[in-house]
Amino acid sequence: MADDKFPGWHGTTIIGVRKGGRVVVAGDGQVSLGQTVIKGTARKVRRLSPGGHDIVAGFAGSTADAFTLLERLEKKLEASPGQLARSCVDLAKDWRMDKYLRNLEAMLIVTDGKDLFVLTGAGDVLEPENDIAAIGSGGNFALAAARGLMEADLDAEAVARKAMAIAADICVYTNGNLTVETIGE
């Protein structure tokens, strides 16, 4: 696809917040094509249960690419039950090295309630500082807001929801229709 023929797909903000023994992953529902909002209720945060282990994942980027990556992650988790870090590293290796996978355009935030990771197509498996991860077009806005809110007397979900509301006020590719999943104690 040539960039001059097709406007870019935009429109995702995903945040993961770890606080008080819980991890919350929240994502907005907006999908835009160029300057047009084509869907406002997309569900970009999913709960996975490979091998009976609860995992929450949020994705930014191409939906089809993200679903492909989520399927691969589930297979890695089934092969290494309860080992999220190992499964993420294995997926990132495949993503970077495999001829087909390396063309996928998406990013993931994944958590098992203890660990919190950002996965990228560059082979990165990042454990965020300050117990906050954010990706997508409004990710930096949500990250900055959440960092400012972490000292407040708020739980992980309240921090994530407030940070997403701030991002939605600033980023034109982010809306307030949230999907929120909580995992942990």
State pLDDT tens for residues 24-82: 999 999 988 888 899 999 999 999 987 778 999 999 988 888 888 999 999 999 999 98
Q: Which domain holds residue 106?
A: 9-168
Q: Three-state SS string across 104-121, please? A: CCEEEEEECCCCEEEECC
107 in a structural domain: yes
3 in a structural domain: no
Reported as a pLDDT band with limits 50, 70 and 90, residue 10 is low
141 in a structural domain: yes
Q: What pLDDT shows up at residue 5?
A: 44
pLDDT at residue 12 tops 90: no
176 in a structural domain: no
Q: What is the mean pLDDT of residues 114-131?
A: 92
Q: Which of 12, 36, 63, 111 is catalytic?
A: 12
Q: What pLDDT shows up at residue 50?
A: 79
Residue 12 a catalytic site member? yes
Mean of pLDDT over the chain = 90
Q: What pLDDT shows up at residue 169?
A: 97
Total structural domains within the chain:
1
Which of 64, 68, 65, 44 shows the shortest CA–CA distance to 56?
Answer: 44
171 is in an annotated binding site: yes
pTM of the model: 0.91
Reported as a pLDDT band with limits 50, 70 and 90, residue 180 is very high
Report pLDDT digits (tens) over 93-114. Answer: 988 888 778 788 889 999 999 9
What is the Cα–Cα distance from 40 to 42, expressed in whole angstroms? Answer: 6
Those residues with Cβ within 8 angstroms of residue 71's Cβ, 6 or more apart along the chain or in another chain? none
Q: What is the mean pLDDT of residues 123-142?
A: 94
Write the CATH number for 57.
Answer: 3.60.20.10
Sign of the four-CA dihedral 23, 28, 33, 38: positive
75 in a structural domain: yes
151 in a structural domain: yes
Q: What pLDDT shows up at residue 9?
A: 47
88 is in an annotated binding site: no
Q: What pLDDT shows up at residue 168?
A: 96
183 in a structural domain: no
154 in a structural domain: yes
